[in-house]
Amino acid sequence: MKLGIFGGTFDPPHKGHINAVVSAKESLSLDRVVVVPAYISPFKVKRKITEPSHRLEMTKLAFDTLFTDISAYEVSKGGVSYTIDTLTYFRKIYPDSAYTLILGTDAFLGFDKWYKYREIIEVASLAVVSRNSDDSEKISERADSIKNLCEVFTVKVNPISVSSTQIRENPSEYKDYLTENVYEYIEKNGLYKK
Ligand code: ATP
Ligand code: MG
């Protein structure tokens, strides 16, 4: 089985995330994708983030009808969420799967700063999804420099340029970038109010 892993803070999950998962699945013929909201990203320890239970719930809503599984592994474990731990956990449960980590441009460009990234690429390939239409040159330059260490796939995609940061600033302005159920959840729970 070819399993994709897509981690993130998902504060909130948006159509760029969904596009990344759908495109990676098609482009790489993945059998399933596991979406894993982080308890705390190692790169966001100093930032105020929304309660994990809300982010987990919104992630379930956003990916609702897709071929994905939403994993509560990192949220339940607590503490700083390291991808190598998550990957190790899944490899124990599904030892016969081939693993592909799905990453947006920024995550891929910063990947060499990740905790134990060399161990990650020993057991997983990388699938990179553009966030903006002019990302491909940066991606291919970096892919060239690490392709002797692991397999890097560039996902064919029509990028959706949006970030959770923009949405948190003004959810109603970015409504079109959210699934309806996530927008309703934000409203109902009074999230991202200043
Ligand atoms: P924030 O602005 O809070 O950092 P974000 O939009 O970057 O939020 P994250 O939860 O940080 O979302 O990202 C999780 C993963 O999704 C990362 O690999 C990131 O690169 C990727 N990603 C985020 N937005 C997009 C997008 N619009 N298109 C493709 N990939 C994306
Ligand atoms: Mg981000």
pLDDT digits (tens, 9 = 90+) for 26-77: 999 999 999 999 999 999 888 899 999 999 999 999 998 778 999 999 999 9
Instruction: Tell me the whole-structure pTM to 2 decimals.
Output: 0.97
Q: Answer yes or no: CATH 3.40.50.620 is held by domain 2-161.
A: yes
Alpha carbons within 13 angstroms on the beta-carbon side of residue 110 total: 9
The SS3 of residue 7 is strand
Q: Which two tokens stand for residue 132?
A: 């903006």
The number of the ligand 1 atom at minimal distance from the alpha carbon of 168 is: 3
Q: Is 78 left (phi over 0), alpha (psi -120 to 50) or beta?
A: left
The number of the ligand 1 atom at minimal distance from the alpha carbon of 49 is: 3
Q: What percent of the chain has pLDDT over 70?
A: 100
Cα 49 from Cα 6, distance rounded (Å): 19
* pLDDT exceeds 90 at position 81: yes
pLDDT at 47: 86
57 Cα to the center of ligand 1, angstroms: 17
The SS3 of residue 112 is helix
* Domains in the chain: boundaries: 2-161
